Amino acid sequence: MNTSRQTRFGPNSTAAEVVAGHDLSGTTAVVTGAASGIGVETARALAGAGARVLVAARDAARGEATAADIRRSTGNPQVAFELLDLASLRSVREFAARYLADGRPLHLLVNNAGVMATPFGLTEDGFELQFGTNHLGHFTLTTALLPALRAAGGARVVSLSSRAHGIDDVHLDDPNFAHRRYDPWAAYGQSKTANMLFAVGLTNRHAAEGITSNAVMPGVILSPLWRHTPQWGQRRQDADGRIGTPPGWKTAEQGAATSVWAAVAAELQGVGGRYLDDCAVARPWPGGGSMPGGHYRPYALDPDRAEALWRLSETLVAG
Ligand SMILES: NC(=O)c1ccc[n+]([C@@H]2O[C@H](COP(=O)([O-])OP(=O)(O)OC[C@H]3O[C@@H](n4cnc5c(N)ncnc54)[C@H](OP(=O)(O)O)[C@@H]3O)[C@@H](O)[C@H]2O)c1
């Protein structure tokens, strides 16, 4: 594989440009959190290339409306909503059971849903809200869907992370902030590091079965993810309710590009455990200080930490 940062695509590429020329007919994709922000445009691009797409979301009305909008805009009738609340392991397991009962292979799983910098909260199962939703929910979903991923004979799992992984490592001894003061950004950083370690762990355990996973930094996009920050209060919306893009930020269509690149790029065939940024493989940044774009903190792709997190996650979700 060419690991140089030079690819055909870059920071301004859109998901539609990345998927152009790919024929995904006969494949199935699940996109979590697909009723908002980057997820909508990820689902739309995959559906536009012919994939059958499940819009997995926790709000049924918005999920149904998004699926209908994508069917309309792409002309692909195989786009449907499925209920999924990642903050409830019961809901996650019910989603996976419904999927497996259908008997279809799963070629693409885009673990896109997320919450950011929330006030302290707990999931239905008692996990800190960001670690529980962003990591443990997707961990449970992916491991429950393994039979369908195996059946695809080559499946890719995209794990949405963030440059915010640089804020903090996973605290394996206290992931739920039971014994340390809660900090909304440290909790987000921890959960996004977990998303990267998960991509490493999944690839290391399942690449031999054709399942690989890369982590993605989508860019900075003013979506409802930002609702707990001052930037959200300063947003501008046009007459159609579309949120304006501040200078230097990405649109949702650009934000979906690296997820779609992770899903379809020929040069990533059989490649996993990487961190992708601006449609390119990022490089390690072992130094301190401010980390430039296109780089990652090495602790977040460390195979031993990935294995330790995997074992901890198995224990936590087993109850
Ligand atoms: N936007 C950025 O600047 C940025 C930067 C780096 C990384 N990311 C990552 O990119 C991903 C997508 O972010 P986005 O900007 O598109 O944000 P978004 O518009 O807020 O979309 C996130 C989606 O996740 C869903 N979600 C949250 N909790 C859920 C739960 N318990 N069960 C099911 N779905 C749930 C949300 O559902 P509701 O609509 O019902 O809340 C929403 O549809 C996230 O993983 C985020 O961490 C974003």
Residue to probe by mutation, ligand 1, list 141, 163, 225, 250, most atoms within 8 Å of CB: 225
Residue 3's pLDDT is what? 43
In the reported structure, the alpha carbon of residue 87 is separated from the centroid of ligand 1 by a whole-number distance in angstroms of 13
Q: Vertex 51, ends 107 and 30: CA angle to 5°?
A: 55
- pLDDT reported for residue 233: 86
- Dihedral angle computed from the Cα positions of residues 220, 226, 229 and 234, in that order, rounded to the nearest 10 degrees: 80
Largest CA distance in the chain: 52
**Using CA positions, which residue lies closest to atom 8 of ligand 1?**
162
Average pLDDT over residues 119-143: 98
Question: pTM here?
Answer: 0.97
Ligand 1: atom nearest CA of 32 is: 34
* Residue of 32, 58, 227, 243 to test ligand 1 pocket, by largest number of atoms within 8 Å of CB: 58
pLDDT digits (tens, 9 = 90+) for 60-82: 999 999 999 999 999 999 999 99
Which residue among 99, 188, 275, 296 is the active-site one? 188
Half-sphere exposure of 18 (CA within 13 A, CB side): 31
Average pLDDT estimate for 291-318: 97
- State in Å, rounded, how far the first CA of the chain is from the last one: 40
Residue from 226, 233, 136, 216 nearest 184 by CA: 226
CB count in 10 Å sphere of residue 292: 11
The minimum-distance atom of ligand 1 relative to the CA of 115 is 27
The alpha carbon of 176 is separated from its chain's Cα centroid by a whole number of angstroms, namely 21
Q: What is the pLDDT, as a whole number, of residue 6?
A: 55
Interatomic CA distance for residues 78 and 71, integer angstroms: 7
Rounded Cα distance between 235 and 223, Å, is: 9
Span from the CA of 35 to the centroid of ligand 1 (angstroms): 9
Q: DSSP class of residue 177?
A: -
**Res 2 pLDDT > 50:** no
Q: Between helices 303-318 and 184-206, what is the axis angle to 10°?
A: 100
Residue having the nearest C-alpha atom to atom 7 of ligand 1: 162
Average pLDDT over residues 118-125: 98
The total of other beta-carbon atoms located within 10 Å of residue 229's CB is 14
Atom of ligand 1 nearest to the CA of 59: 40
Q: Go through the domains of the chain in sequence order and give each one's CATH number.
A: 15-222+250-318 (3.40.50.720)
- At residue 54, what is the residue type? L
Q: Report percent pLDDT > 70 for the chain.
A: 98
Name the residue at shortest CA distance from atom 44 of ligand 1.
114
Ligand 1 is surrounded, with C-beta below 6 A, by: 33, 35-39, 57-59, 84-87, 112-116, 133, 160, 162, 218, 220-221, 223-225
Is residue 5 scored above 60 in pLDDT? no
Tens of pLDDT, residue by residue over 154-176, are 999 999 999 999 999 999 999 99
What pLDDT is recorded for position 195? 99
Can you tell me the distance from the alpha carbon of 15 to that of 12, in angstroms, rounded to the nearest whole number? 10
Query: How far does residue 251's CA lie from ligand 1's centre (Å)?
Result: 14
* Contact criterion met (CB below 8 Å) for 49 and 76: no
Active site residue 188: yes
pLDDT in tens, 24-35: 999 999 999 999
At residue 214, the 3 state secondary structure works out as strand
pLDDT score of 49 more than 80: yes
Q: Residues for the chain: how many in total?
A: 319
Share of the chain above pLDDT 90, in %: 92
Query: Distance (Å, rounded) from C-alpha 33 to C-alpha 182?
Result: 25
